[in-house]
Structure 1
Amino acid sequence: MQVGFLNVLSALFGWVYTLSWSLSFYPQPILNWRRKSTSGTTIDFPFINTLGFLAYLISNAAFYYSPVVRAQYAARNNGHHPAVAFNDIAFAAHALLLSLITASQYFFPRLWRFAATPGTRISRFILGTAIGCVLGVFVVILRVQPDSDSTRSVDPQRDWVWLDVVYAVGYVKLWVTLIKFTPQILANFRNKSTAGWSISQILLDFVGGTLSIAQLLIDSYLQGDWSGLTGNPVKFALGQVSMIYDLIFFAQHYVLYREPGGMTGEREALLERGDEQRGYRQSHGRTD
């Protein structure tokens, strides 16, 4: 009875966290669209976030669909399969699509008819991080390729195998998650404001991170083996790191740079800013 309940609870947590995390990608592009501007936010976040979710989609798909990767994982983890469910793939694909849409608002503002935001460019740190991640995965592929093409039997316990490539791709997502919010936190600090940065996405992200970790713990308990955590460290770390950043944004929005009204104030400010910008365009003879 308990096992059946935990299975249902795990599935419920999986789809609810997928829904929460998926919905978290909507508030920022909607806020940008209604403000007709990306001011107050950095281009670094949507750029590196796109790379991160591309990596996350690839690693999850490999764990879920590839018989080679799944067999190599089982060989290293006491015969257990990866703790990756279909909802992880659905989330990653949706997140990648929304990240691309959001990034397009920064790279192609004219297409969205946004007001120009001076000084918008990718920082050297974020650009260097993206290039370094791609090169790192390429190096691992070069290391694995000779062993995979050889005629001798490959032992996943001691040899470099395609599972290591999948891990490398997964660690790209982990590293991106570790650093992707930093430019926005610094921007909020410099501006002494969170205006333009949607707190709604952070609230949804926090709920998603909590339930993601809960599902992983339940699945590992049901398997009777905690390799679900050690064998898939990316998923476990993602929830933890995201929640730490979420707490920092909560502190900035509700304590350090608090504005009256909380989320209601955000919506009112959004509408007010939209009215101001429309008035500005009308006064300058613009109707777009």
Structure 2
Amino acid sequence: MAFSFLEVVSELCGWVYTICWSLSFYPQPLLNFRRKSTTGTTIDFPAINVLGFVGYFISNAAFLYSPLIRKEYASRNHGLTPTVQFNDFAFAAHAIVLSAITLSQFLPSLWGFEERGGPGARPSRFIMSIFVGSILGVLIVILIVIVRNDPDPATGWAWIDVIYAFSYVKLFITLVKYMPQVLTNYRNRSTQGWSIGQILLDVVGGILSIIQLGIDSYLQGDRSGITGNPVKLMLGNISILFDIIFMTQHYCLYPGYKSKELLDGEDDPLLGDRERRID
């Protein structure tokens, strides 16, 4: 009876976190559309997000639907099945679409936005290096597996390592993708243009994602449910860490402050006159 209850809790956590994380992709493009501008945000975040979620989608799809990958996973994890759930797969597919839409908003002519230049309007060298390096890293792993494919996936290179490479790309991208926006907020001494709504939804999703992973691992009676899915564990923890940073910036460090860049000719419809101030 207890296990059946925990299975229901796991399923509930999974879909609630999927909904929260999925909804977190809407506030930013909606804010950009309402303001007819992407000022205050950087293109780095949606640009690298697309690549990250493509990798996450591929890894989730393989763990869910590939007999070969599931067999290789079982050989490395005491015969268990992956703890990836359908809600993980659905979330990744949705995230690709919304990240691509947000990225497209940096093409002003496509959306009728005002032209912008300066920092954040074009991908930084740092993000482009990560983009190219991630693709090269996956290609190298594929080459290694082709050359050194071992008949026993438990002890040698196997196609599951390629899938892990895709998932690690997502993990690494999540680790670095927030930094350009954190620095932009710091330079502007403002979070204007960066939606706090997406952060609040993201932190709830991250907590529930970790809870679901822990419950699924407990139900299997083996910690490999977690160690075999390190990306989901780290994604939740990293997201929560940066969410705390963004909430600190928004509510504690720069509450109600409007950056000089926005004051010089851009009206933010989300703030009333009494809230627009700068030191």
Q: TM-score, structure 2 length as denominator?
A: 0.91
Query: Could you say if the C-alpha distance between residues 32 and 57 of structure 1 is closer, same or farther in structure 2, counting changes exceeding 3 Å?
Result: same
**Moved >6 Å (runs of 4+):** 273-276
Equivalence for 1:178: 175
Equivalence for 2:125: 124
1:86-235 equivalences under 5 Å are 86-106=86-106, 108-119=107-118, 120-148=121-149, 154-235=151-232
**In 1, distance between residues paired with 2:3 and 2:194?**
42
Deviation, 1:118, is: 1.1
Equivalent of residue 250 in structure 2, options 253, 257, 260: 253
- 1:28-61 deviations in whole A, cap 9, x for unaligned? 0000000000000001000000110000000000
Deviation, 1:142, is: 0.3
**In 2, distance between residues paired with 1:273 and 1:154?**
59
- 1:150-190 deviations in whole A, cap 9, x for unaligned? xxx70112211000000001000000000000000000000
**In 1, distance between residues paired with 2:225 and 2:238?**
18
Query: Could you say if the C-alpha distance between residues 275 and 2 of structure 1 is closer, same or farther in structure 2, counting changes exceeding 3 Å?
Result: closer
Equivalence for 1:68: 68
**In 1, distance between residues paired with 2:212 and 2:85?**
10
1:44 and 2:52 are equivalent in the alignment = no
**In 1, distance between residues paired with 2:93 and 2:64?**
14
- Please tell me the residue identity of whatever aligns with 1:127: M
**In 1, distance between residues paired with 2:215 and 2:68?**
26
**In 1, distance between residues paired with 2:225 and 2:112?**
46
**In 1, distance between residues paired with 2:89 and 2:127?**
25
Query: Could you say if the C-alpha distance between residues 271 and 191 of structure 1 is closer, same or farther in structure 2, counting changes exceeding 3 Å?
Result: closer
Structure with the largest fraction of helix: 1
SS at match of 2:242: helix
**In 2, distance between residues paired with 1:209 and 1:140?**
29
Q: Is the 8 A contact 1:47 1:103 kept in 2?
A: yes
1:268-287 equivalences under 5 Å are 272=269
Q: TM-score, structure 1 length as denominator?
A: 0.88
**In 2, distance between residues paired with 1:98 and 1:255?**
29
Identity percentage of aligned residues: 60
Q: How many residues align?
A: 263
**In 1, distance between residues paired with 2:93 and 2:255?**
34
- Please tell me the residue identity of whatever aligns with 2:50: T
Deviation, 1:26, is: 0.2
**In 2, distance between residues paired with 1:42 and 1:169?**
24
**In 2, distance between residues paired with 1:110 and 1:236?**
40
Structure 2 residue ranges without an equivalent (≥5)? 258-265, 274-279
- Please tell me the residue identity of whatever aligns with 2:183: L
Q: Is the 8 A contact 1:25 1:201 kept in 2?
A: yes
Deviation, 1:270, is: 7.7
**In 1, distance between residues paired with 2:210 and 2:114?**
40
**In 2, distance between residues paired with 1:43 and 1:90?**
25
Equivalence for 1:279: none
Query: Could you say if the C-alpha distance between residues 130 and 200 of structure 1 is closer, same or farther in structure 2, counting changes exceeding 3 Å?
Result: same
Structure 1 residue ranges without an equivalent (≥5)? 261-268, 277-288
Query: Could you say if the C-alpha distance between residues 105 and 216 of structure 1 is closer, same or farther in structure 2, counting changes exceeding 3 Å?
Result: same
SS at match of 1:81: coil
Deviation, 1:146, is: 2.7
- 1:59-80 deviations in whole A, cap 9, x for unaligned? 0001101000000010000001
- Please tell me the residue identity of whatever aligns with 1:195: Q
Equivalence for 1:2: 2
